[in-house]
Each structure stands twice: as C-alpha cells, then as structure tokens.
Structure 1
Amino acid sequence: MTETLENAPAPACGTKPKVVLVGPPGAGKSTIGRRLSRALNVPLVDSDALIEEERGIPCGEVFESLGEPDFRRLEAKKVAEALNTHGVVSLGGGAVVTPAVRELLADQTVVWIDITVEEGVRRTSGNDSRPVLQAADPYDRYRQILQEREEFYREVADFRVVSDRKPPAGLVADILNFLESL
C-alpha cells in the first residue's frame, strides 16, 4: 500500500530541482550538496534543515520526540516542500524508506551518495544527534541500515557515487559530468 501525503504540496511544474541527493548517514550529502549548489549557482535545500527550522530543535531530537512513524510523515511533507525548489536538494538518510517519498522522487534526477560501513561508522561515531545510529555495536547497526535501505536507494537513483573513495571535489566533478550527460 502506498502512503499518501495529505496537504503536502506536489512539486510545481517548472520547479524541478536540478538534482536530489540521497544516501545513508555520513555519506556526505550535506558537504557534496553545498559544493554542488555553488558549482551550479543554485540554492541548496536540505530536508533535515527544513524539519529543524519548523520545530526549532535538531533533527535527531525531532526523531526522538515524535518516534519514527510520525517523523517519517513530517519528513515526507518537508521533502515535498524541498522538491518545489530549483536547485540541489539533500534528503535525510532515511527519507527513502517512505513510499510517498520514493513516489515524489520518481520524476527527479537523483544521485545516490553511497559509503562503506567502515567509513560510515568512522564519520558518524560519537555523534549523538543521530539517534537512529545509537547501538551497542555501531558496525552492525550501520550495516543493518545499509541493508534495509539499499534497495530503496537503488530504486530512486539515476546515478551512484561512493564517497569514501574520492575527495568531495572529485565526487562533485563526477556528478556534474553526469548532469551534463542528461
């Protein structure tokens, strides 16, 4: 069954983002998004930042206070809002688990920024603002997250880059080359 977004704006005609970035926590979506938006001379919209702006607290705290189901509903509404921009859109790592978000991404240009378990844990370890990653064994938890979400990243992505194998400038160059090929 597909989840619907009540009262969420559909992306308006002519305002399709240049590119949407998806990927697991710590993959570099924010870093790559900032560099890509500068290179394309367009704004960067981060769905997590929209949630934080609305609620006035860090995204991880919103997740903890609402619980995952309500957080994912709020996140889907903010993704729909972000997709109304013409620029680079960066989504939270788990946004793709929501069927309605995947539907919204169906007609977008989506880049999956991937990462290995080892590098993902290195980049996110000790980060209390990511409650979804809190576990006794961070490697096992990160591996589990990747396994749960990989099919969704693969489903929505038009292009995939692995962020622990290249510096950000190289990743941005790869993404720009991909966008130019469209």
Structure 2
Amino acid sequence: MSVVAVLIGPPGAGKTTVGRRVAARLQVPFVDTDHLVEQEAGASISDIFVEQGEQAFRALEAAAVARGLQGEGVLALGGGAAMHPGTAELLRGAPVVFLDVTIKDAAGRVGFDGSRPLLAVNPRATWTRMMDARRPTYEALATWRVDTGGRKIAEVVAQVSELIDPGSTERA
C-alpha cells in the first residue's frame, strides 16, 4: 500500500479532522505532517516559529512531508506545506485532495485565536491574503477539489472517501 490521499488546503479547511475519519473509514493509517514536525522538533509549531523562525519550520515541514509520502494511508499537510517548491514537486502525480473553505467557515473552525503563528496579527485579513496567494497552487496540485464550507464532516468524509476509493461508500 502507499499514500491513498494527500489533503491540502488552508487553515480551517478540516484536513486533520477529515483525514482521520477518511483513514478510519478506509482502514488505513493517518499521518498529519504538523504532528510529525512537532515530534521531530520536540516542540509545538508555535514554539518553533517563535524560537527558530518560519524558515526553520518550513525546512522541518518539507522533510516531514517527504517522509509522509513514503508511508501509506491518508496524509494531511499543514496549510503552507504545498507552497514549498520541493514539496509541490513531490505532490505532482499524487492523489491530492484540496479541501476548500470560505473564511466564514474557517473562522468558525479555527477561531483565529492566535494559536496559529501566521494568523496572529489581523487574522481575517491575513487568512484572506494567504488564501489568495495559495489558491492557485492548491488548485494546480489537486486531483480533486472538495468544498467543506457549510457541510457536515460526515458529508465531506463520504465525498473524499468515494473520490479516492470508489465504492467505499457502499462498504461503510
């Protein structure tokens, strides 16, 4: 077995939540690259940003994505991971699901409370600028695009599962 799906998208799209449930539904492993980075560094992502800077975090993140892609199951990437040129190249040809979301839904999920380093200052404006810059990359890398806004998690999980493993809905 290899990676059955790579989930990309902005903060608040539901990559981790959807990824865990899709993996459970398909009975495959789930890996979150943010978790891999925290394990490797022995620190939270926020602490890595503060103590080492974004560049150090992005290097750890790129390495975590490369390791994750060598594994199996469902892989959820941090929101900015796909922006790294090396990572984007590794994702070409992989089964990539872009989980899309509006700022309204993302704000309700993330809360824009400062726990996300890149959203610490003026989170709504920052999220909008970030999404405007990242959307073309997300769309270019995506095998499939799934809108998560205003939808129940179960609906999104069913759609993603069916896209990556046709017939999975009947087996669920």
- TM-score by length of structure 2 reads 0.91
* Residue of structure 1 in register with 2:170 after alignment: none
- What amino acid is the match of 1:80? A
In structure 2, distance between residues paired with 1:41 and 1:181: 14
In structure 2, distance between residues paired with 1:114 and 1:64: 28
Partner of residue 99 from structure 1, selected from 61, 85, 92: 85
Deviations 1:125-150 (A, max 9, x none): 243320101123x2211110101110
Determine if contact 1:18/1:86 at 8 Å carries over to the other structure: yes
* Residue of structure 1 in register with 2:136 after alignment: 151
> Number of matched residues?
167
> For 1:40-59, what aligned pairs fall within 5 Å after superposition?
40-59=26-45
Alpha-carbon offset, residue 98 of structure 1: 0.5
> For 1:20-169, what aligned pairs fall within 5 Å after superposition?
20-136=6-122, 138-169=123-154
Determine if contact 1:121/1:142 at 8 Å carries over to the other structure: no
Alpha-carbon offset, residue 62 of structure 1: 1.3
Determine if contact 1:59/1:129 at 8 Å carries over to the other structure: no
3-state SS of paired residue (1:69)? helix
Structure 1 residue ranges without an equivalent (≥5): 1-14
Partner of residue 170 from structure 1, selected from 135, 155, 163: 155
Q: Give runs of ≥4 in structure 1 deviating > 3 Å.
A: none
Change (3 A) 1:61 1:53: same
Alpha-carbon offset, residue 165 of structure 1: 2.7
Alpha-carbon offset, residue 84 of structure 1: 1.1
Alpha-carbon offset, residue 26 of structure 1: 1.2
Determine if contact 1:27/1:115 at 8 Å carries over to the other structure: yes
- Identical amino acids, percent of aligned pairs: 38
Structure 2 residue ranges without an equivalent (≥5): 168-172
3-state SS of paired residue (1:19)? strand
Higher helix share: 2
